[in-house]
Amino acid sequence: MALAEAGARGRLLRWPRVLLFGDSITEYSFQENGWGAYLAERLVRKCDVVNRGISGYNTRWAKLILPRLITENTGADSIAAVTIFFGANDSALKELNPKQHVPLEEYAANLKSMVQYLKSVDITADKIILITPPPLQESAWEKACLAKGDKLNRCNATTGQYAQVCVQVARECGTDVLDLWSLMQKNQDFSSYLSDGLHLSTKGNSFLAAQLWSRLENKLSALPSLLPYWRDVDHTNPEASLL
């Protein structure tokens, strides 16, 4: 059978998508032992896990580009889940990092705006998960800042305020939320979760992956595997199994 004929007979295969939208902690999530890579492995042949992490971005910039990532005309109906993971940059101290800083009230409004946009293109609240920024280990991050000739430009207490707002927005919008800031600090020494005081270590990636999977599993585990297991293909008539 010619390929063109096979394509005409078979239905277009469309993988559902899990969209990871966030800053550098999302961008780096496909690195070795990353939390995004973990999700992709768990969902192989069920979903495409799409990394749309953009290092250094805050919610002020993110809300402008979200409509360029998802529209009704680009398969919003195929979205199985979306994570929105911002706050580590928004919570930078204004006087030391004005370019990335976003005031707390605006951060809340931006998160709401993004959730409302997703709902407007028929992505329901049960498919949306907000993730708070992780806690900041100040001494380690200060070393990273000093190495670049900068002063310590974030503090954990301020990051916690943004995390609390993220939780509140999720409650108001009816979405799920992963309060990473609080969960990581249940263990008093949370420094092992972070590689440089801000970004996740291997242990931190594993922690986030496990916490996120516990929220996604019920939503996604029932999705069927796409295409049959190879032993189930009729080798004498593969068209019957594959088209």
The single residue of 23, 101, 195, 199 carrying the catalytic annotation is 199
Residue 196 is a catalytic residue: yes
The residues, ordered by sequence, that sit 6+ positions from 133 with a Cβ below 8 Å of its Cβ are 25, 86, 87, 88, 91, 159, 162, 163, 166, 180, 181
Amino acid sitting at position 191: S
> Would you mind telling me the total number of residues written for the chain in this entry?
243
Residue 199 is a catalytic residue: yes
Between CA 218 and CA 81 the distance in angstroms is 12
Do the beta carbons of residue 208 and residue 200 sit within 8 Å? yes
b/e burial code for range 124-162 (CB count within 10 A of at least 16 → b): eeebbbbbbbbbbbbeebbeebeeeeeebbbbbebbbeb
The single residue of 24, 113, 182, 191 carrying the catalytic annotation is 24
The single residue of 182, 196, 201, 206 carrying the catalytic annotation is 196
DSSP category for residue 82: E
Give catalytic residue positions: 24, 196, 199
